[in-house]
Amino acid sequence: MADGDGGGSSAAGIAVIVAVLIGFVAGGRATTETTTTTNSGSTTSSSSSSGSGSTTTVRSSSTVVTSSTTEAPTPLASCPGSVVRQTTENGITLRLYYDSQAGGVNCVSAVHEGAVTPPGYLQTDLRFATSAGTAWPVFATQVGAPGAAQVTGTYLIRTNDRCVTAVATYYPSGSGGPSSSASLTKVACG
């Protein structure tokens, strides 16, 4: 803590309590917002909650990561952070990214080497390795457009200190036909 009597933190604490109470009176939702400025830019984080779930939004200079405990988020336009693991199998390059925002974000991208012609498509799946669930927030999936050779932006949040498994699958004849895949299993398990 910086030098001073600490009185400012008491006022800030009271302001947060008042904001939460106003949020509940206004519609049953509590909302908080924090902005942190760093040398590389600023990050704004806000969260809200109600009896039916909660939502967290983290904005940095290049990416907005939103998570709801009740519904899967829209895939990102590109994965934030840096590549922590990569594999190329069966003509598919699968990359797993990590970014420290939102308690840790893991994001995947997949590229098929060569042409993908409709109805062929790529699909990415990302899950916590310890979960068999197939729904958000422990699992995320994205089906690429028919003919697209790349799918990117499938992500999970709150991944710090948690194992993840990523799979990219290529369906050259569309759904129900033969497939090939690349996978990264139990990454960051410690």
Is 116 within 8 Å of 170 (Cβ atoms)? yes
For the chain, 190 residues long, give each residue's pLDDT as a single digit of tens. 334 444 443 333 333 333 333 333 333 333 333 333 333 444 444 444 444 444 555 544 455 666 566 677 889 999 999 999 999 999 999 999 999 987 899 999 999 999 999 999 999 999 999 999 999 889 999 999 999 999 999 999 899 999 999 999 999 999 889 999 999 999 988 6
d(CA 101, CA 60): 8
Q: What is the predicted pLDDT for the residue at 62?
A: 52
**Structural domains in the chain plus CATH codes:** 7-51 (no CATH), 82-187 (2.60.40)
Provide the 3-class DSSP secondary structure of residue 24: helix
pLDDT score, position 110: 98
Global pTM value: 0.68
Strand ranges of the sheet holding 82-89, from the earlier edge strand across to the other edge: 82-89, 92-99, 105-112, 150-157
Q: Which of 2, 32, 10, 162 is nearest to 98 (CA)?
A: 162
**CB neighbours of residue 156 within 10 Å:** 25
H helices then E strands: how many in the chain? 1, 12
State residue 102's pLDDT score.
Answer: 77
Distance CA 56, CA 65 (A): 8
- What gap in Å lies between CA 41 and CA 10, rounded to an integer? 28
Instruction: Give, in order, the Cα–Cα distances in Å from 60 to each of 3, 36, 44, 76, 179.
Output: 29, 10, 7, 13, 37
CA dihedral 68, 79, 169, 189 (to 10 degrees): -80
pLDDT of residue 182: 98
